[in-house]
Amino acid sequence: MSILNNESEKDIAIKLEEMKQMLRERKMPPVFFIGSGLSRRYLDSPNWENLLMKIAEEVECNYEELKKRYEPEYDRIAQELEYYCFRHAKKEDIDKKKRKSILRDLIADIFINYVKDYKGKKRIEENSSLNQDIYTRMNKITNIDKMNEVMKIDKVAEEYQNIYEKIKLCSDNFNKYIEINELKKVYPKAIITTNYDTMLEDIIFENRCNIHIGQEGVLSSMDESDKIDLYKIHGCVTKPDTIIITKDDYDDFEEKGKYLYSKIFTIFCEYPIIFIGYSISDRNIKNILTAMMEIMTENQKVDFLKRIWVVDFVKYKENESVVEKEIELFNGKNIKVTCFCLMDYKQLYQAINEITNQPFGELKFAISENVIELLIAPLYQQQDKLKIVTRELLQNAFDACKRKGGFGLISL
């Protein structure tokens, strides 16, 4: 198993280097296409089905009955739940709100609470509490001496299992916290997401996003400022009425989708793309890739598929790998894309960070002796003038990079 794992680690490292080289050659940062898997990873928020189950429980609806009738068409289940939400609502809400708003306001409340819970966590205090709990349990194990031998073994095993589970949970939480800190350092050109929550703009890329919500937002041009363009194509909890979840929503979305797909095609034709938080069979990926393959020439397809990467989650470290995965498109054709199957995302974020936080071209400067004598010498008469100039230039470069959120590597 260790030999296989070592081989997989080498394969992943090689493919990450290839990805970095591609980004260097393109001289542009990637665009992230982010799905609900990333929010589940860091916020423990629900996937689509679990969200519908939460809503059904809230409005006293038998979810299993809906599931029997409509699975796997979750948009149809959501359509039914929209009716249940309206029927279950308070009279004052019915009087004040549109019928569709009641379901979407409930969805907004659910996801807002997950972001609040994450931001309210006190990780250091939790760690101290865990240490005390383990200390107490270890003392308890030491003092198990009044039972017969079989009962004693069972009790000790149970206590050690409890300790293991608590340590693992704490370790997983800290590892995810480390991952988020690595992701915070990355500077993508843009982010396209189907997520409703505000994790990206409120936690990971806080104060660094120009937010575009819904199809109208997608029509906006990419901003040329230092901020990241965040396109929330399925709506956002900050504007609940924009949330796309029911069959009617999706039908309307598809009908008006030419504007959306036009924008996405433009982005995809120019930039490297990294899909994170999506299943390889996700219909959002398949829709876009199907349309892209239908409009491209053979040469364009080859180039396009070289600069697409999919990140897929695996539960165990020993199962990590990088593979060429085949995607069956909606037109019946198949394509292959590079897929990183990872338990730990830190190495991926670090690889992207190495590229997006360094200049894509080398910027050089020359120092004029006349300028030194005119501007530097009168102010710093007793100091090495060349050192002063270099220091000031480096300080200015540092200030500029800091203003851009760390997008740059300063070196001599």
255 is a domain residue: yes
235, 335: one domain: yes
189, 304: one domain: yes
223, 338: one domain: yes
Mean per-residue pLDDT, 41-59: 94
Residue 377 has what pLDDT? 55
370, 236: one domain: no
Residue 400 has pLDDT above 80, yes or no: no
List pLDDT tens digits, range 2-19. 444 678 899 999 999 999
Query: Among 23-27, 128-132, 275-279, which range has the highest average pLDDT?
Result: 275-279
**Range scoring the smallest mean pLDDT among 158-167, 288-297, 341-350, 401-410:** 401-410
- Domain total of the chain: 2
Q: Are 406 and 187 in contact (CB under 8 A)?
A: yes
345, 371: one domain: no
**Token couple for 287:** 């829709």
**Range scoring the smallest mean pLDDT among 6-15, 150-159, 353-362:** 353-362
210, 233: one domain: yes
What's the farthest any 2 CA atoms get from each other in the chain? 92
371, 288: one domain: no
Query: Which of 106, 84, 80 lies closest to 246, judged by CA?
Result: 80
Cα 291 to chain centroid distance, Å, stands at: 24
Residue 215 has what pLDDT? 73
Domain boundary among 326, 341, 356: 356
List pLDDT tens digits, range 364-383. 555 555 555 555 555 555 56
148 is a domain residue: no
Residue 157 has pLDDT above 60, yes or no: yes
* Cα separation values, 63 from 58, 77, 100, 253, 279, Å: 11, 9, 19, 25, 24
**Token couple for 117:** 């819970």
84 is a domain residue: no
Three-state secondary structure call for residue 309? strand
Q: Are 314 and 279 in contact (CB under 8 A)?
A: no
Residue 397, domain extent: 362-412
Confidence label for 182 from pLDDT (cuts 50, 70 and 90) = very high
Q: Are 310 and 338 in contact (CB under 8 A)?
A: yes
What integer best gives the mean pLDDT of the chain? 82
190 is a domain residue: yes
List pLDDT tens digits, range 390-399. 776 676 666 6
251, 396: one domain: no
Residue 2 has what pLDDT? 41
pTM of the model: 0.77
Burial 328-353 (b: 16+ CB within 10 A, else e): ebeeeeebebbbbbbeebbbbbebbb
Q: How far apart are CA 71 and CA 240, in angstroms?
A: 25
Residue 57: exposure state from Cβ atoms within 10 A (0-12, 13-18, ≥19):
exposed
Residue 378 has what pLDDT? 54
349, 375: one domain: no
Domain boundary among 310, 326, 356: 356
For residue 145, the one-letter residue type is D
377, 266: one domain: no
326, 258: one domain: yes
410 is a domain residue: yes
List pLDDT tens digits, range 99-141. 889 999 999 999 999 999 998 876 555 566 777 777 787 777 7
Higher-scoring residue by pLDDT: 404, 201: 201
Q: How far apart are CA 27 and CA 20, in angstroms?
A: 10
Q: How far apart are CA 268 and CA 33, in angstroms?
A: 10
Residue 259 has pLDDT above 80, yes or no: no
**Token couple for 361:** 């071209």
- State percent of the chain over pLDDT 90: 44
205, 273: one domain: yes
Domain boundary among 356, 372, 402: 356
Q: How far apart are CA 117 and CA 132, in angstroms?
A: 23
Q: Which residue has the tokens 């899909």?
A: 275
298 is a domain residue: yes
123 is a domain residue: no
